[in-house]
């Protein structure tokens, strides 16, 4: 992609008009001769088309040609070379996410990005050589990012002291600030940054340090993963950080590390984990996961053995595990200093109960047995000591360069925000430049950030939203979304990846690089050129232009991953020191209570950055299945102590008690949720909610856990008290039913059993099934014989970790609306794909299985026979197709669907205003009333302001009908992708003859997004296709097979891998498979969760 070189543009007041957006703005004539920039607020259709046509031109010519910088933008009347109307284009980019980036491929239609996919060509993907090339997917956050791009609530204007100013004025203020502090050597200038792995930002920061030698740099990341690097660096004495390659791990011990969920690079971790988890692997080297944690995380739910202990015990437990390792392999092998460490450790862990010791012994035995195939991970919540112990265990076990490697990573030169607070309080900050982040919301509560920040003379801030921090800023610059920005980043292994714009900034936002460059007074302020310059520094050999273009095309820089640090040697003395300084007793003395609090980022909103994203707000939490809220989680015993009576959602009571948690001298009220699996005496709070200025979607949702979070206890705090209040709060949960009621909808077996028995599920189902005892031949069977394709899907429950990326991917691909909390309370969420969660055995065992549930495309579909108007019918390729236009909405099909995967559009959800009462309100009728009043007053269904609707229209996938209300909808197996692939196949095959689509030529949206590769889709008519092979697996079964529906979706039974030596009472039932069709007679007396 190319941008307009700013120098070539005439400017009014001599201020360089920079950036893609502005360049385009100029082309369109918005930048008038006097330099006034009219911010397009809100974006009108006309405005959009104007910007878009220019952007298209740039995109089209820039990417297909990449020959020369475009100097003039002309209207999109001449077709750029290689561009075809109606054919989507894909651009490689990446999503910066704290220090690392997720490599992406973004689908763009006529210049507007509409779908984010994984960049499967990225080299960092799990592959251990015994299968075809490895794969990676994306996370739910990456999938949802496209919605944030079109968020009309983003910052759209430049403001100074709250008043809109022109872009030029803002730019001139930036420049003046830079000039002023260059003169002062940067004295009084402070920067508050976010974590970033961008090489360009690092380069610009180096320049900034040179220009402002006395300026200070701080970093604020509410959930900081830097501890991984910090601990490794401290332990090994060289600047390194660990990278995990879980595909090489056979035994994984995770110490509070939610590597499948909320740790860094989850998409990569899940991919590696799933690769090692696959029971189909020939060597049966299936991994086994041990988890020690306090909350009930995604990783814990997927673990084979899980130890749930209060957070204060985790440090001791780690020491115990380490001590056990030392004992089993002999302390002497740890090195000369091990004696000191041994004595220090043994003193600490002497008093631990036998149950923990037994667990540790068995676990460590297993790890030792696996040797280099074992890996120990520590979570970001844990102190440095735990990390150091984990790293040392890896070294001792020999897993370095197998499942974990240490790569060189620059040390963080920035100071923490607490120091900035001290500096501000001292009055040492004249100008504070905040680049990203939202410190007023997310800074530790004891810093009183809103007031502290005001102590700076001037605050300049680059922010994506006019959020909580906005009112205490002087100069506020809108930040461009990453899909509108030029930039760069690194993936977890250090590979440099580009951040390419797919569209001109919709609201004229700036990038971080641009702001830094302007402050530094650089001649090059165009982020495109900045990135090129950075890359010039990295790419030292070969033809730069060629490599640059390859970099952009591939979406990564070849061979740029960080160097492995090679062999590392732990400094045991440091550990011993740290062990000695640990206070073994839980820190209960501080507060007035005896509970411990764990503060974790929310699975959906992370630290709050995604709060205004409706897709993520409505994505059910994988464990609790709660949407539109965060809850205070406690374990069942704690709940019993508190005498908490949880409602039974089954009886239509969706309100839970509100509790007050007192911790760190502060208190917070929030709805309580009893979650089996949460450690005793532990209270879990989640960050990211309770926003007051997130935007219309995110405001006022949930409670704000930051308000009790202090800098001394960012993640774990003792001395907490919890008390019930009189209030109740309605919680929109998409699945109240916790147990599968003995119904074999999900099937599971332990690994031993899988190896022992050839067939777990009842019969293999390859090649379509014969109807048992059918009196009449299904006429569609004849059609199926002649058709080239018979589509089918197999979902491997062993691999599915329940992350939910597929849900968001489906929502994005298929224009699935957000319905809002009130409607979720009515169970009217529209997700075509859902992930059902069931507790296995008992609630106390806290083991969970997931089952992605989507339209099963039954060959004998019950929905089809009852539709009175033929709106849903079968095609000859075995798809259960839906003609939305024909549907009158009797909803009969849904009633007859045994899986209830059909979704009805009760209201025009797409047309509802973001600010309307429907999104967060709890009263559905109030929304309806509002809709009705709008209809009355406007005599039209346009409940949503036009500007919002226009933005929404940009988001929509043009390949998929946007359904109106009153219409039933459901998963189509991404029929649009099937048809595109067929068209492409035919086009290719005109000369070649056969026009069949090769296996794997395209993927459904859920399949593409799945980081675990649990979903396989393809032609079941080809016996060698991956889906046919999956269906031939002895684990393959169909849900509710006795109904003889002959679904096209097969599930592969979940295989767990418990340690046979740890089959104690808690996991004894683990081995009881749920393989028979029905185990019990629909026993309703299964324990109810709530």
Partner 1 sequence: MSDSRQHVRPEKETSGELSPEFATAPMGLAREPLITGYRGLEWISDEATRFNEGGAPSWWRAGLLVALSLLVLGVVIVAYLVTTGVGVWGVSHPVMWGWATINFVWWIGIGHAGTLISAILFLLRQQWRTAVNRVAEAMTIFAVLCAALFPIIHVGRVWYIWWLLPIPTSNAVWPQFHSPLMWDVFAIGTYLTVSILFWYLGLMPDLALMRDRARRPVSRFFYGLLCLGWTGSQRQWHHYEKAYLIIAGLATALVVSVHSIVALDFAATQLPGWHSTIFPPYFVAGAMFSGFGMVLTLIIPIRSLCGLENLITKRHIDLICKVTLATGSIVAYAFVVEACHAWFGGKPYERFMIWNRVVGPYWWAFFVAVACNFLVPQAFWFRKVRLNLRAVWVLSILINVGMWMERFVIVVGSLHRDFVPSNWSYYRPTWVDVCTFAGSFGLFFTFFLLFLRYLPVVAVSELKSIASACVWGCSSTSDGPDTRR
**Which residue in the set 243, 376, 887, 1036 belongs to the binding site for partner 1 (CB under 8 A)?**
887
CB nearer to partner 1: give 427 or 1082: 1082
Asked if 649 touches partner 1 (CB under 8 A), the answer is: yes
CB nearer to partner 1: give 712 or 886: 886
Distance in Å, CB of 1 to partner 1, minimum: 43
CB nearer to partner 1: give 198 or 851: 851
What are the φ and ψ backbone dihedral angles of 285, each rounded to 5 degrees? -95, 50
Asked if 989 touches partner 1 (CB under 8 A), the answer is: no
Residue of 854, 853, 891, 849 lying closest to 872 (CA atoms):
891
Asked if 867 touches partner 1 (CB under 8 A), the answer is: yes
Helix (H) or strand (E) holding 597: strand 595-601
Asked if 743 touches partner 1 (CB under 8 A), the answer is: yes
Integer angstrom CA distances of residue 224 from 194, 195, 229, 613, 715? 10, 8, 11, 22, 10
Which stretch in 149-157, 326-334, 568-576, 886-894 sits in contact with partner 1 by CB under 8 A? Answer: 886-894
Taking the alpha carbons at both ends of the chain, their separation in whole angstroms is 54
Asked if 828 touches partner 1 (CB under 8 A), the answer is: yes
- For residue 894, count CB atoms less than 10 angstroms from its CB and return exposed for 0-12, middle for 13-18, buried for 19 or more: middle
Distance in Å, CB of 675 to partner 1, minimum: 17
Distance in Å, CB of 883 to partner 1, minimum: 9
CB nearer to partner 1: give 667 or 737: 737
**Which residue in the set 715, 904, 973, 1002 belongs to the binding site for partner 1 (CB under 8 A)?**
904
Distance in Å, CB of 153 to partner 1, minimum: 25
**Which residue in the set 907, 1002, 1017, 1037 belongs to the binding site for partner 1 (CB under 8 A)?**
907
CB nearer to partner 1: give 378 or 732: 732
Asked if 931 touches partner 1 (CB under 8 A), the answer is: yes
Dihedral sign for Cα 650, 651, 655, 658, please: negative
Helix (H, G, I), strand (E, B) or coil at 53: helix
Asked if 627 touches partner 1 (CB under 8 A), the answer is: no
CB nearer to partner 1: give 694 or 1039: 1039
What residues have CB less than 8 Å from 799, skipping those under 6 apart? 274, 277, 278, 1012, 1013, 1014
CA distance 315 to 586: 10
Asked if 774 touches partner 1 (CB under 8 A), the answer is: no
Asked if 938 touches partner 1 (CB under 8 A), the answer is: no
Between helices 805-813 and 140-149, what is the axis angle to 10°? 30
Asked if 741 touches partner 1 (CB under 8 A), the answer is: yes
Asked if 968 touches partner 1 (CB under 8 A), the answer is: yes
Which string of x and - marks every residue 339-368 that binds partner 1 (by CB under 8 A)? ------------------------------
Residue of 701, 720, 552, 537 lying closest to 626 (CA atoms):
701
Are the CB atoms for 805 and 1034 separated by under 8 Å?
A: no
**Which residue in the set 212, 628, 736, 791 belongs to the binding site for partner 1 (CB under 8 A)?**
736
Report the length, in residues, of the chain.
Answer: 1090
Asked if 735 touches partner 1 (CB under 8 A), the answer is: yes
CA distance 543 to 541: 7
3-state secondary structure 706-723: HHHCECCECCEEEEEEEE
Asked if 827 touches partner 1 (CB under 8 A), the answer is: yes
CA distance 634 to 132: 44
Asked if 906 touches partner 1 (CB under 8 A), the answer is: yes
Q: Following DSSP, what letter does each residue of 919-981 receive, concatenated?
A: HH-S-HHHHHHHHHHHHHHHSSS--S-HHHHHHHHHHS-TTS----TT-EE---SSHHHHHHH
CB nearer to partner 1: give 491 or 739: 739
**Which residue in the set 132, 559, 726, 1081 belongs to the binding site for partner 1 (CB under 8 A)?**
1081
Distance in Å, CB of 814 to partner 1, minimum: 17
Distance in Å, CB of 738 to partner 1, minimum: 9
Asked if 49 touches partner 1 (CB under 8 A), the answer is: no
Are the CB atoms for 380 and 242 separated by under 8 Å?
A: no
CB nearer to partner 1: give 673 or 789: 673
Asked if 675 touches partner 1 (CB under 8 A), the answer is: no
Asked if 900 touches partner 1 (CB under 8 A), the answer is: yes
CB nearer to partner 1: give 65 or 966: 966
898's tokens: 């045994």
Asked if 853 touches partner 1 (CB under 8 A), the answer is: yes
**Which residue in the set 829, 841, 948, 1029 belongs to the binding site for partner 1 (CB under 8 A)?**
829
CA distance 828 to 815: 16
The DSSP symbol for 982 reads H
Counting residues that bind partner 1 (by CB under 8 A) gives: 70
**Which residue in the set 371, 428, 767, 898 belongs to the binding site for partner 1 (CB under 8 A)?**
898
Asked if 1087 touches partner 1 (CB under 8 A), the answer is: no
Asked if 868 touches partner 1 (CB under 8 A), the answer is: yes
- For residue 911, count CB atoms less than 10 angstroms from its CB and return exposed for 0-12, middle for 13-18, buried for 19 or more: buried
Asked if 924 touches partner 1 (CB under 8 A), the answer is: yes
Which stretch in 24-32, 799-807, 864-872, 993-1001 sits in contact with partner 1 by CB under 8 A? Answer: 864-872
Asked if 807 touches partner 1 (CB under 8 A), the answer is: no
Asked if 889 touches partner 1 (CB under 8 A), the answer is: yes
CB nearer to partner 1: give 161 or 826: 826
CB nearer to partner 1: give 175 or 891: 891
CA distance 410 to 403: 22
Asked if 836 touches partner 1 (CB under 8 A), the answer is: yes
**Which residue in the set 890, 976, 996, 1088 belongs to the binding site for partner 1 (CB under 8 A)?**
890
Which string of x and - marks every residue 1028-1047 that binds partner 1 (by CB under 8 A)? -----------xx--x----
CB nearer to partner 1: give 742 or 1000: 742
CA distance 375 to 272: 13
Are the CB atoms for 903 and 831 separated by under 8 Å?
A: yes
Which stretch in 175-183, 214-222, 866-874, 954-962 sits in contact with partner 1 by CB under 8 A? Answer: 866-874
897's tokens: 């669907």
Are the CB atoms for 750 and 849 separated by under 8 Å?
A: no
CA distance 668 to 135: 43
CA distance 248 to 375: 9
Pairing mode, strands 374-378 and 404-408: unpaired
Asked if 935 touches partner 1 (CB under 8 A), the answer is: yes
Which stretch in 341-349, 351-359, 646-654, 802-810 sits in contact with partner 1 by CB under 8 A? Answer: 646-654
Residue of 271, 98, 342 lying closest to 198 (CA atoms):
98
What residues have CB less than 8 Å from 160, skipping those under 6 apart? 169, 170, 173, 474, 475, 476
What are the φ and ψ backbone dihedral angles of 461, each rounded to 5 degrees? -140, 140
Residue 141 CA to chain centroid, in angstroms? 3
Asked if 870 touches partner 1 (CB under 8 A), the answer is: yes
Residue of 961, 959, 981 lying closest to 791 (CA atoms):
981
Distance in Å, CB of 735 to partner 1, minimum: 5
CA distance 378 to 391: 8
Asked if 869 touches partner 1 (CB under 8 A), the answer is: yes
Distance in Å, CB of 737 to partner 1, minimum: 4
Q: Following DSSP, what letter does each residue of 124-164 receive, concatenated?
A: -S---SSSSS------HHHHHHHHHHT-TTB--SEEETTEE
The DSSP symbol for 363 reads H
- Residues forming the site for partner 1 (CB under 8 A): 649-652, 735-737, 739-743, 745, 823, 826-829, 834, 836-838, 851, 853, 862, 865-870, 886-892, 894-896, 898-900, 903-908, 924-925, 928, 931-932, 935-936, 964-968, 1039-1040, 1043, 1078, 1080-1082, 1084
């Amino acid at each position: 992609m190319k941008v307009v070189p700013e120098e070539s543009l005439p400017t009014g007041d001599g201020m360089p008009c920079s950036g893609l957006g502005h360049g385009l703005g100029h082309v369109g004539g918005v930048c008038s001769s006097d330099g006034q920039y009219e911010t397009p607020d809100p974006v009108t259709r006309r405005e959009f088309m104007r910007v878009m046509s220019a952007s298209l031109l740039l995109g089209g010519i820039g990417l297909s040609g990449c020959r020369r910088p475009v100097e003039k933008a002309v209207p999109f009347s001449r077709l750029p070379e290689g561009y075809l109307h109606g054919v989507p284009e894909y651009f490689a980019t990446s999503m910066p996410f704290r220090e690392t980036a997720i490599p992406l491929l973004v689908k763009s239609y006529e210049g507007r990005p509409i779908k984010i996919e994984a960049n499967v060509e990225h080299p960092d993907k799990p592959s251990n050589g015994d299968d075809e090339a490895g794969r990676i997917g994306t996370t739910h956050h990456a999938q949802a990012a496209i919605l944030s791009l079109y968020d009309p609530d983003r910052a759209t204007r430049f403001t100074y002291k709250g008043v809109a100013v022109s872009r030029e004025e803002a730019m001139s203020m930036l420049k003046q600030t830079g000039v002023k502090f260059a003169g002062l050597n940067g004295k009084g200038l402070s920067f508050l940054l976010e974590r970033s792995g961008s090489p360009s930002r690092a380069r610009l920061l180096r320049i900034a340090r040179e220009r402002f030698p006395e300026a200070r740099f701080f970093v604020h990341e509410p959930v900081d993963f830097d501890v991984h690097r910090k601990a490794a660096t401290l332990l090994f004495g060289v600047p390194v950080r660990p990278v995990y390659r879980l595909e090489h791990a056979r035994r994984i011990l995770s110490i509070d590390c939610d590597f499948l969920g909320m740790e860094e690079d989850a998409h990569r971790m899940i991919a590696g984990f799933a690769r090692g988890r696959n029971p189909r692997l020939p060597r049966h080297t299936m991994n086994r996961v041990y988890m020690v944690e306090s909350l009930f995380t995604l990783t814990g739910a997927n673990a084979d053995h899980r130890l749930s202990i209060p957070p204060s015990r985790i440090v001791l437990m780690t020491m115990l595990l380490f001590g056990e390792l030392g004992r089993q392999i002999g302390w002497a092998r740890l090195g000369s200093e091990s004696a000191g460490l041994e004595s220090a450790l043994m003193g600490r862990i002497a008093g631990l109960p036998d149950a923990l010791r037994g667990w540790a012994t068995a676990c460590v035995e297993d790890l030792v047995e696996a040797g280099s195939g074992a890996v120990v991970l520590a979570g970001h919540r844990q102190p440095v000591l735990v990390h150091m112990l984990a790293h040392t265990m890896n070294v001792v076990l020999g897993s370095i360069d197998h499942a974990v490697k240490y790569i060189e990573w620059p040390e963080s030169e920035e100071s923490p925000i607490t120091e900035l607070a001290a500096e501000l309080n001292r009055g040492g900050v004249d100008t504070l430049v905040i680049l990203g982040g939202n410190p007023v919301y997310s800074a530790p509560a004891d810093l009183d950030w809103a007031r502290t920040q005001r102590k700076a003379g001037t605050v300049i801030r680059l922010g994506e939203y006019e959020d909580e921090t906005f009112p205490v800023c002087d100069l506020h610059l809108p930040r461009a979304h990453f899909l509108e920005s030029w930039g760069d980043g690194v993936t977890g292994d250090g590979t440099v990846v580009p951040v390419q714009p797919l569209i001109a900034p919709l609201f004229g936002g700036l990038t971080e690089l641009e702001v830094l460059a302007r402050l530094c007074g650089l001649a090059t302020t165009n982020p495109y050129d900045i990135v090129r310059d950075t890359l010039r520094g990295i790419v030292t050999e070969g033809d730069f232009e060629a490599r640059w273009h390859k970099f952009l095309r591939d979406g990564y820089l070849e061979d740029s991953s960080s160097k492995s640090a090679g062999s590392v040697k732990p400094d045991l003395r440091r550990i011993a020191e740290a062990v000695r300084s640990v206070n073994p007793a839980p820190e209960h003395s501080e507060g007035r209570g005896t509970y411990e609090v764990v503060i974790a980022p929310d699975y959906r909103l992370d630290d709050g950055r995604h709060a205004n994203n409706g897709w993520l707000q409505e994505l059910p939490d994988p464990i609790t299945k709660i949407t539109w809220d965060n809850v205070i989680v406690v374990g069942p015993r704690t709940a019993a102590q508190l005498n908490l009576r949880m409602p039974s959602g089954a009886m239509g009571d969706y309100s839970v008690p509100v509790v007050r948690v007192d911790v760190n001298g502060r208190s917070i009220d929030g709805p309580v949720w009893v979650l089996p699996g949460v450690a005793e005496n532990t209270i879990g709070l989640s960050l990211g909610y309770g926003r007051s200025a997130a935007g219309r979607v995110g405001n006022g949702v949930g409670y704000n856990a930051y308000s009790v979070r202090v800098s001394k206890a960012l993640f774990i705090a003792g001395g907490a008290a919890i008390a019930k209040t009189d209030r109740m709060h309605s919680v929109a949960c998409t699945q109240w039913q916790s147990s599968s009621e003995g119904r074999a909808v999900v099937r599971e077996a332990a690994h031993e059993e899988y190896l022992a028995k050839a067939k777990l599920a009842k019969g293999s189902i390859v090649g379509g099934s014969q109807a048992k005892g059918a009196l009449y031949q299904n006429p569609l069977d004849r059609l199926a014989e002649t058709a080239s394709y018979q589509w089918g899907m197999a979902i491997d429950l062993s691999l599915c970790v329940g992350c939910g990326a597929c849900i968001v991917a489906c929502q994005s691909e298929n224009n699935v609306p957000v319905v809002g909390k009130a409607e979720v309370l009515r169970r009217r969420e529209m997700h075509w794909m859902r992930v059902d969660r069931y507790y296995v055995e008992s609630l106390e065992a806290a083991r969970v299985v997931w089952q992605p549930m989507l339209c099963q495309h039954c060959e004998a579909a019950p929905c089809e026979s009852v539709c009175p108007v033929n709106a849903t019918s079968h095609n000859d390729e075995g798809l259960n197709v839906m003609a939305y236009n024909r549907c009158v909405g009797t909803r009969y099909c849904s009633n007859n669907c045994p899986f209830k995967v059909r979704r009805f559009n009760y209201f025009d959800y797409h047309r509802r205003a973001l600010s309307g009462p429907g999104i967060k309100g709890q009263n559905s009728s109030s929304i309806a009333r509002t809709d009705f009043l709008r209809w009355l007053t406007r005599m039209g269904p346009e409940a949503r302001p036009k500007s919002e609707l226009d933005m929404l229209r940009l988001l929509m996938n043009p390949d998929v009908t946007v359904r109106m209300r009153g219409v039933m909808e459901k998963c189509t197996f991404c029929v649009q992708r099937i048809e595109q692939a067929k068209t492409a196949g035919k086009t290719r095959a005109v000369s070649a003859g056969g026009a069949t689509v090769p296996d794997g030529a395209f993927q459904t949206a859920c399949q593409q997004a799945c980081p675990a590769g649990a979903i396989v889709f393809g032609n079941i008519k080809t016996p060698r296709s991956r889906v046919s092979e999956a269906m031939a697996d002895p684990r393959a079964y169909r849900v509710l097979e006795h109904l003889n529906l002959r679904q096209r979706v097969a599930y592969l039974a979940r295989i767990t891998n418990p340690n046979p030596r740890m089959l104690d009472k808690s996991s004894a039932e683990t081995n009881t498979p749920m393989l028979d069709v029905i185990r019990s007679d629909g026993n309703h007396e299964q324990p109810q969760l709530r």
